[in-house]
Amino acid sequence: MQSSVVELNGPGGVIDTELRASAPAAGQPWRRLSNLLGPVVSLVLSVLVWHVAATQRWHLGFLTFENVPPPLEVVQAAWDFARSPKIWSHLGFSLWRVSVGFVAASVLGVGLGLAIGRFGWARQLWLPPLEVLRPIPAVAWIPLSILMFPSSEVSMIFITFIGALFPILLNTVHGVEHVDARLVASARSLGTGPWGLFSQVILPSAAPNIVTGLSIGMGTCWFCLVTAEMISGQYGIGYYTWESYTVQNYANIIVGMLLIGVLGMGSSALIRLGGHWLMPWHRQEGGKP
């Protein structure tokens, strides 16, 4: 009887095993709370440093906050902008330009990426010119886009398209190139045809990289928005930011910057969420989606 108690309570025993299994579950609420509080504390500290630097007019030699508006002034400017009737026009035009440019870049980037990653002839034919164009910044495309497109609206959409294309393309190529060769060989040995091999093996294996490329591409779409709306936009968050700079309304500049950041972060998060929903087979480290 005594030995049975020792076996139950000793290392590797039933009670010891149950305690080990229940220990992580007991710590999960605290872990979740820390995961929620961490970003909040980080944001609060960042705003606090910004407030002190702007109100105290820090001058660090190579960096100065003498003309940077404090957070409260930016909050007031954001409130005034939110009550302005122009906010919906600015948001509507920007969302339209980013959406159209992103969809076009997604279709072309994923299509070319799948072909380049899978077929040698496509890689030799299309990858060299794309690699030449890839390092060109979006602002350098403005003069050519004005010459190529008769409409300024199409020119602005083209700039957002260029910003999203290459992250989507390269991540798709990377995903296809790193498909496990054993999966391909196994599918072929089971008699899978070309279309079945593509739809059941290559595309699902490359899907996580494609979703990553789409998320990054959406972020660069918003990144290029100010550049795009510099062309001749009359409405848009990028135009609002640039116009605020020209009239030296510094608080409104930060409002536009933060709005672009929030919209970019939110849209990228939606893409990642949709990707996890469409890929139940894919899990990140720790088994979490």
Span 50-63, mean pLDDT?
A: 86
Of residues 258 and 24, more confidence is placed in: 258
- The answer to whether residue 285 scores a pLDDT higher than 50 is no
Whether 18 and 126 map to the same domain: the answer is no
Span 192-198, mean pLDDT?
A: 84
Span 235-239, mean pLDDT?
A: 89
**Phi and psi of 64, rounded to 5°?**
-130, 145
Report the C-alpha gap between 121 and 116 in whole angstroms. Answer: 8
Whether 157 and 115 map to the same domain: the answer is yes
Report the C-alpha gap between 220 and 217 in whole angstroms. Answer: 5
Whether 162 maps to a domain, the answer reads yes
Report the C-alpha gap between 228 and 18 in whole angstroms. Answer: 60
Q: What is the reported pLDDT for 29?
A: 73
- The answer to whether residue 18 scores a pLDDT higher than 80 is no
Whether 97 and 49 map to the same domain: the answer is no
Whether 90 and 24 map to the same domain: the answer is no
Q: What is the reported pLDDT for 164?
A: 95
Whether 42 and 132 map to the same domain: the answer is no
- The answer to whether residue 14 scores a pLDDT higher than 50 is no
What residue numbers bound the domain in which 173 lies?
Answer: 71-287
**Phi and psi of 7, rounded to 5°?**
-65, -35
pLDDT > 90 fraction of the chain, expressed in percent and rounded: 46
Report the C-alpha gap between 243 and 232 in whole angstroms. Answer: 11
- Written as one string, the DSSP assignment of the chain is -HHHHHHHHSTTSHHHHHHHHHHHHHHHHHHHHHHHHHHHHHHHHHHHHHHHHHHTT-B-SS-B-TTPPPHHHHHHHHHHHHHSTTHHHHHHHHHHHHHHHHHHHHHHHHHHHHHHHH-HHHHHHHHHHHHHHTTS-GGGGHHHHHHH-S-HHHHHHHHHHHHHHHHHHHHHHHHHHTS-HHHHHHHHHTT--HHHHIIIIIHHHHHHHHHHHHHHHHHHHHHTHHHHHTTT-SSSHHHHHHHHHHTT-HHHHHHHHHHHHHHHHHHHHHHHHHHHHH-TT---GGG--
Whether 191 and 93 map to the same domain: the answer is yes
Whether 89 and 230 map to the same domain: the answer is yes
Whether 60 maps to a domain, the answer reads no
Whether 191 maps to a domain, the answer reads yes
- Report the CATH number that the domain containing residue 191 is assigned in CATH: 1.10.3720.10
Whether 119 maps to a domain, the answer reads yes
Q: Residue 287's pLDDT band (boundaries 50, 70, 90)?
A: very low
Are the C-beta atoms of residues 191 and 135 closer than 8 Å to each other?
no
Q: What is the reported pLDDT for 15?
A: 47
Q: What is the reported pLDDT for 27?
A: 59
Whether 201 maps to a domain, the answer reads yes
Whether 277 maps to a domain, the answer reads yes
Lowest-confidence segment of 24-38, 119-133, 177-191, 271-285 by average pLDDT? 24-38
Of residues 74 and 67, more confidence is placed in: 74
Q: Which of 192, 62, 165, 153 is nearest to 110 (CA)?
A: 165
Whether 189 and 223 map to the same domain: the answer is yes
Whether 97 and 124 map to the same domain: the answer is yes
Report the C-alpha gap between 276 and 270 in whole angstroms. Answer: 10
Whether 39 and 122 map to the same domain: the answer is no
- What total of structural domains would you count in the chain? 2
Whether 63 maps to a domain, the answer reads no
Per-residue model confidence as pLDDT tens digits over 120-160:
899 999 999 999 999 999 889 988 998 999 888 999 999 99
Token pair recorded at residue 149: 């497109």
Q: Residue 282's pLDDT band (boundaries 50, 70, 90)?
A: low
Q: What is the reported pLDDT for 254?
A: 93
Using only C-alpha atoms, the chain has a radius of gyration, in whole angstroms, of 26
Burial of 233 (0-12, 13-18, 19+ CB in 10 A): buried
pLDDT > 70 fraction of the chain, expressed in percent and rounded: 87
Span 203-227, mean pLDDT?
A: 91
Whether 107 and 35 map to the same domain: the answer is no
Lowest-confidence segment of 18-32, 83-97, 187-201, 236-250 by average pLDDT? 18-32
Are the C-beta atoms of residues 226 and 244 closer than 8 Å to each other?
no
Amino acid at position 32, single letter: R
Q: What is the reported pLDDT for 2?
A: 45
Helix axes 203-223, 87-118, angle to 10 degrees: 140
Of residues 286 and 86, more confidence is placed in: 86
Q: Residue 57's pLDDT band (boundaries 50, 70, 90)?
A: confident
Per-residue model confidence as pLDDT tens digits over 260-270:
999 999 999 99
Whether 143 and 45 map to the same domain: the answer is no
Of residues 71 and 28, more confidence is placed in: 71
